[in-house]
Amino acid sequence: MKYKCRLADIVTIAPLKKTFRQRNGYTIIELLVVTAVISILIALALPAVQSARNSARQLQCLNNMRNVGLGIIQATDSANRFPACGYYGDGTPGTVGSFRNWVVEILPYIDQSNLYNQWDFDKHYLDPLNAPLAETHIPVLTCTSDISVVPGQGNLSYVVNSGVGFSALIGGIHDCPIGPKSGKLDLNGNGITCNSSTSGDGTPSDRELFFQMGLFFNETWKGEIRAKRHHTMAGLTDGSSNTILISENIRTGYNPTRSQSNWASPNPYLTSFYIGYPCRNGSCSDGNVDYNLANSGTSAINGGLTQPEGSAPFPNSFHSGGVNAGYCDGHFQFLSENIDGKVYAALMSPQGQVLDGSPLAQ
């Protein structure tokens, strides 16, 4: 007997067939693929974000430096001279010790007239009247990339151009030019240091050369004047656009281990930056001058990043490849850490042209 398919049989059998419904979720493999793609995109984006943040911090740092640098230029125009990088007593009774630095001189020009008007210029920066003022945090004095800044303290990220060194009282002799790492400077190479003698041969003295190779100097404040030297804008014979005024140093400013460190301290390791001593064997005689040493080793730009706070008075920043710097004509730009030592020394010197014909010719 042949089987005849009836509609009723189809209706009865149809519901027994397997049906398929649309899925509402994802498989494990799909989730893993999506996660991997997102991770790759994040990995690609993070460096760009970090780079943008670094650029923003560097720009803010440069803007702060610009305000400080223009404050120095305004103070210089007002006084018709550059301020001292630091003021000290000269050893006479009542004037011994540290008074203040260049930052105090420019306070009215960086919107800090209130602090300036409260400052007692006849007293040290650590005097009970001045000390609380010097502990005031002034945001414009700090670089946003300076991770060593301690909130609420008298921080400083910017330093001024002091050439090859600073002067100090050494062995009873006042106003002795010395380098931050090299000791007493024999700039004319005649074997005589810490005095103005030129051996009678017409050679410029160490003090004269010292003046020509830097822009800011320590000075005595009261009593008998022992050290008083300064430049004027008109005296920048190399040109204001060719003379560095200010730079960064994140190895200066407030130091938690040294309560005397703040933006008012005249300590030359905290107020200024220097080039490396360009003279081998401690003497700038013929054949001993090598300006490659001006930007080398721990004295190089960004060479002191790992050194302790207050022990690396050279340009240092956390910007990749160099530091921000300002010039005496009011322009500011990035200074490469790979700059040629001779060019670097020439930019530091306001009167480098007078060195032509000497072993120190730049």
Q: Please say whether the beta carbons of 141 and 71 come within 8 A.
A: no
From 116, 151, 157, select the one nearest 133 (Cα to Cα).
Answer: 116
Question: ∠213-67-348 over CA atoms, to 5°?
Answer: 10
Strand partners for 186: 283
- According to the model, what pLDDT value does residue 197 have? 55
Tokens at residue 226, please?
A: 């022992």
Q: What is the pLDDT of residues 226-281, one digit of tens each?
A: 788 999 999 999 999 999 999 999 988 777 777 789 999 999 999 999 999 999 98
pLDDT of residue 7: 45
Residue, of 288 and 200, whose pLDDT is higher? 288
More confident residue, 303 or 9: 303
Segment 102-121 mean pLDDT: 97
Q: Quick check: 2 pLDDT over 70?
A: no
- Reported as a single tens digit per residue, the pLDDT across 125-182 is 999 999 999 999 999 999 987 777 777 788 999 999 999 999 988 888 889 999 999 8
pLDDT confidence of residue 27: 78
* Cα distances (Å, whole numbers) of residue 83 to 5, 136, 195, 229, 236: 113, 21, 24, 10, 15
Per-residue confidence (pLDDT) for residue 196, from 0 to 100? 65
